[in-house]
Amino acid sequence: MTFKPFRALLLGAALLGLANAALAQQDIHIGAAHFPPYTIRPEKGEDTGLLPELVQALNKVQQQYRFVLVPTSIPRRFQDFRQGRTDMAIFENPDWGWQGLGYSSVDMGLEDAEVFVARTAPGRDESYFADLTGKRLALFSGYHYAFANFDADPEFLATQYQATLTYSHDSNLMMVLRNRADVALVTRSYLSDFLKRNSDVAGEFLVSQRIDQIYHHFALIRPGAPIDGKQFGQLLKQLADSGELARIFDPYRIAVLGYPVGAQVVMHPAP
């Protein structure tokens, strides 16, 4: 009986310690723009995609930070980053319109690729993708494509490449299947997921060996954010060493590279 107050005191101290630890956590706001399969309709509150999985893993591996997703869009993400509404942009590349903004980039050690997809047809092979002239393209609005010198202007793409721009990779692939477009460009990760979900039509697609671009993923961190590039890189290394990165990304054919993940941090000061 005499030990009960002491036990209650210990329990109260433990709960207080947990509460203080939670209060001490610093929120890190990550921009979440619709970019399947990485992020899927975050503006609608859908907590699906690879980014939410990565955020969950980051929150489990440590207690100092609380990573939080902030819905944004492909065009608006630059302004949100500049104004400090978001602290980080993940699965990005410095070549995708980030010129003129100050940030540090962390090499995530992850690689995806953009491939060309057409409908199978007699006599059609890899050579079909060698020249896009005269072909109707189905593209994702706002994306920067290497074949177009990373110019995402809708008018330019429509005029130069007969491009139809949508906000759905599924729609673009179905346009190819229904002969409403000749070629769609999709990430290897998305195509892998699409073919699993639509195995009945998998044999009707011709997928290029030609790659439009390699998605070598970076995390971009704004100056003054509660976390810096080195600290975030260390968290990524923990996830890589534990096998968590492979668990999340291997099923989507996203390569987890062999060199030390998170070791390469580069500062990009604003002009």
> Are residues 61 and 192 both part of a single domain?
no
Q: CA 236 from chain center: how many Å?
A: 15
Total domains present in the chain: 2
Classify residue 57: in a domain, yes or no.
Answer: yes
Q: CA 156 from chain center: how many Å?
A: 25
> Are residues 220 and 107 both part of a single domain?
yes
Angle CA 90–94–98, to nearest 5? 95
pLDDT of residue 266: 82
Classify residue 41: in a domain, yes or no.
Answer: yes
Helix (H) or strand (E) holding 113: strand 103-119
pLDDT of residue 44: 73
- Rounded CA-CA distance 259/199 in Å is 34
pLDDT of residue 3: 47
Classify residue 6: in a domain, yes or no.
Answer: no
> Are residues 131 and 195 both part of a single domain?
yes
Q: Walk along the chain (271 residues) and give the pLDDT tens digit of each residue.
A: 444 555 655 565 555 554 454 457 899 999 999 888 898 888 776 668 999 999 999 999 999 999 999 999 988 999 999 999 999 999 998 888 888 889 999 999 999 999 999 999 999 999 999 999 999 999 998 888 999 998 989 999 999 999 999 989 999 999 999 999 999 999 999 999 899 889 999 899 999 999 999 988 999 999 999 999 999 999 999 999 999 999 999 999 899 987 667 767 888 887 7
- Rounded CA-CA distance 235/237 in Å is 5
Terminal Cα-to-Cα distance of the chain (whole angstroms): 70
Q: b or e along 8-29 (b: 16 or more beta carbons within 10 Å of the residue's beta carbon)?
A: eeeeeeeeeeeeeeeeeeeebb
Q: Please count the other Cβ atoms lying within 10 Å of the Cβ belonging to residue 155.
A: 8
Classify residue 2: in a domain, yes or no.
Answer: no
By residue range, what is the domain housing residue 131? 113-214
Looking at residue 249, which CATH number applies to its domain?
Answer: 3.40.190.10
Whether the model clears a pTM of 0.85, i.e. scores above it, the answer is: no
Q: What is the DSSP string of 117-182?
A: EEE--TT--GGGGS--TT--EEEETT---GGGTT---HHHHHHHH-EEEES-HHHHHHHHHTTS-S
> Are residues 107 and 154 both part of a single domain?
no
> Are residues 93 and 54 both part of a single domain?
yes
> Are residues 188 and 156 both part of a single domain?
yes
Classify residue 10: in a domain, yes or no.
Answer: no
Helices (H), 67-134: 77-82
